[in-house]
Amino acid sequence: MSPRRRRHALPLAQLVEQATCVAEQVRAELHSVHADPDERWHVRLHHDADVDVWLISWTEEQGTQLHGHGGSSGAFTVVAGELDELVWDPGARELEESTRTRGDVVAFGPGYVHDVRNTREATAVSVHVYSPPLERMDFFDVERGPDGSDRLVRLAHVWSDDPEIAAPESVRGPAAGRVAS
Ligand SMILES: [Fe+2]
């Protein structure tokens, strides 16, 4: 009987390198990219015991909700277009918003909680790398605590290897801090 393989994350630098390399392949049209305004299009390009790699397209107003990656580390990079990202800052106890543009790479550890959305007309394309491969997605909201400061509240989790899995319907909705247009 072989011992069960221990799950571990590859170094972040390696995840960044892999995301960047695959993004270059996408720009070189080595992978097909589709856009679906009804449902965010995504495909897994690679999977092994240590890492999985996804290619995702985002039409206007397609986005996630505030989520974590079940303990996986990761990296993502924008191949084309622009993405707005809200990131929970546990020190400041607030969501910080950034715009990620073509070529930007974001690397993150297992505690990372974020929300990603395309608010522009042009379809955005991104490459996402997770290590160890995703097993669970966690969904969060931000609530005002009794001491007056904001806190992160986990609403639900879903066991899945799909980074685009939807949150349970009971907790689905716009991310906290997102201004409705
Ligand atoms: Fe994510």
What CATH number does residue 103 fall under?
2.60.120.10
List strand residue ranges (DSSP E) for 90-135, in order: 94-101, 105-108, 113-117, 124-131
Alpha helix stretches (DSSP H) within the chain: 12-27
In a domain, 2, yes or no: no
> For residue 72, how far is the Cα from the chain centroid?
11
Residue 138 CA to ligand 1 center (angstroms) comes to: 10
Residue 137 CA to ligand 1 center (angstroms) comes to: 9
142-152 burial, b if ≥16 CB within 10 A, otherwise e?
A: beeeeeeebeb
Instruction: Name which of 121, 75, 80, 114 is nearest 98 in CA terms.
Output: 114
What is the model's pLDDT at position 47? 94
The rounded distance, in Å, linking the Cα atoms of 17 and 27 is: 15
CB 163 within 8 A of CB 134: yes
In a domain, 180, yes or no: no
Residue 91 CA to ligand 1 center (angstroms) comes to: 20
CB 153 within 8 A of CB 143: yes
Q: Kindly list the distances between the CA atom of residue 67 and the CA atoms of 22, 49, 157, 174, in Å, as whole numbers in the listed order.
A: 24, 23, 9, 12
Beta bridge pairs of residue 77 = 105, 127
In a domain, 151, yes or no: yes
In a domain, 1, yes or no: no
Residue 3 CA to ligand 1 center (angstroms) comes to: 31
What is the model's pLDDT at position 173? 66
Residue 58 CA to ligand 1 center (angstroms) comes to: 13
Residue 62 token pair: 């397609």
What is the model's pLDDT at position 1? 42
> Which residues in the chain land under pLDDT 70?
1-6, 173-181
What is the model's pLDDT at position 174? 56
How do 73-80 and 67-68 pair as beta strands? unpaired
In a domain, 176, yes or no: no
In a domain, 48, yes or no: yes
What is the model's pLDDT at position 6? 63
The parent domain of residue 100 ranges over 12-171
- If one counts the domains in the chain, the total is 1
Q: What is the pLDDT of residues 41-85, one digit of tens each?
A: 999 999 999 999 999 999 999 999 999 999 999 999 999 999 999
In a domain, 147, yes or no: yes
What is the model's pLDDT at position 175? 47
* Predicted TM-score of the model (pTM): 0.89
In a domain, 91, yes or no: yes
Question: What is the amino acid identity at position 80?
Answer: A
